[in-house]
Amino acid sequence: PERIESPWITDPRIDTFSFGVLGLFLLTGKVPSLNKTYQAIKESILSRSDSSSLSDDVLHELINVLLLCCNPDPGKRPATMSAVHSTLSLLARNMPWQLEEAEQWWESNANTLQDSITNYQT
């Protein structure tokens, strides 16, 4: 958001913002409407049935990290992607899936995901 008013800014928190928006897109399949409250964004993610593969605590923590990353106020975002990586690494220790399980999920949901992409593009 700060680049709209000041396009010459090169603060790393711009990347943090982009990462947060991308992460929310990956959870929901839609670009988040950032003019909503954090609670409204969080509720829309939690209401999706395909997010149920994560435990409630891990999902809430992941959403909180992503929402923090895409805070419109750069001073309230993590200062670097290294800080985000450290936080996500701690969360990953509690993730229920291993690589094989993730690959199986992507394989079994490929058609549904493709339909979602097609519907999003139209």
Kindly indicate the confidence band of residue 49, based on its pLDDT and cuts at 50, 70 and 90. Answer: very low
- Both tokens of 23, joined, read 């992460």
Q: What is the pLDDT of residue 81?
A: 92
**Above pLDDT 90, what percent of the chain?**
12
- Both tokens of 77, joined, read 């975002």
Residue 15: how many CB atoms within 10 A of its CB? Answer: 15
Structure pTM?
Answer: 0.65
- Both tokens of 14, joined, read 């711009």
